[in-house]
Amino acid sequence: MSTVVRVGAVAYDPKVITIWEGMREYFAEAGVPTDYVLFSNYEAQVDALFDRVIDVAWNTNVAFVRCETRAPAPCLVLGMRNTDRDFTTRLIAREGSDIAGPESLPGKTLALGSADSAQAAIVPLHFLRQAGLEPGRDVALLRFDIDVGKHGDTGTSELEVVRAVQEGRADAGALGHATWLRLVEEGRVDAALVRSVWTSPPYDHCNFTALPDFDAALARRWSEALLGMRYEDPRWRRLMELEGLTSWVEGRREGYRLLQEAMEG
């Protein structure tokens, strides 16, 4: 293992380079030299983690569950954003409809985001099945498989979900709560046409994943350095804003059970 911790990240947006240049500088000052390797998709990043090309992967929840399935023992969760905890999926519907949740969707059309997006496809399909409905048979699906491989990071497919519901091409749509709240705040949702009708139970989103045999002492030092980054410090505030957080928090495993069940189903 090299003396520099190699972290993988997926280049879903040009800002990723800015973020990781800043992260490299931060970790150097924290005494835990870190470099980054960019990937075009999470499948390649997961392979690189198991091939030991990288030591740590900045994973989506879907990529983390795939690592867990592939590893011989539980993976290490070295940290996550405060905004990664208690993530939820929103179901939106046309104003005036009788849709109140997944159980209300028989005979309706549901718009979904990218097939590999937890929030916009995997989780909502799981709750359809939990309601005893078969996707594609009991509920018609309008799918927007955009930027597949990036696990919904770009948010582009979720924008199409909202547009489809507003335009009446779908009766309901599924997207992450963070995207929904941002679009409402930006005035990009017509409240006269669309409303949020259901929120899923919480589940966790991204985390820094390492394989079970990653050096425990180094993992602890790296995690402690990560958690030491402060939003109050103007040097790192912009970096944290670009990454969508106000604090790094300890990693936890229990927040991925719902998604594990959904992906197994």
H helices of 136-253, in order, are 156-166, 177-185, 216-227, 234-243
At residue 261, the pLDDT reads 96
The CA-based diameter of the chain, rounded to the nearest angstrom, is 60
| Pair 226, 33: CB distance under 8 Å | no
At residue 265, the pLDDT reads 74
At residue 165, the pLDDT reads 97
> Given CA atoms 246, 58, 41, 87 in this order, what sign does their dihedral have?
negative
H-helix or E-strand spanning residue 174: strand 172-176
Name, in order, each residue with C-beta under 8 angstroms of 120's C-beta and a sequence gap of 6 or more: 89, 112, 113, 114, 152, 157, 158, 161, 174, 175, 176
Cα(104)–Cα(227) distance, integer angstroms: 43
Spatial CA neighbour of 61 closest among 255, 221, 236, 264: 255
- Mean pLDDT by runs of 10 across the 265 residues of the chain is 87 96 98 98 98 98 98 98 97 95 97 98 98 97 95 94 97 97 92 95 98 97 98 97 97 96 91
Strands 89-94 and 194-199: antiparallel
| Pair 26, 237: CB distance under 8 Å | no
Determine the 3-state secondary structure of 80 from DSSP: strand
Domains of the chain: 5-84+204-264 (3.40.190.10), 89-199 (3.40.190.10)
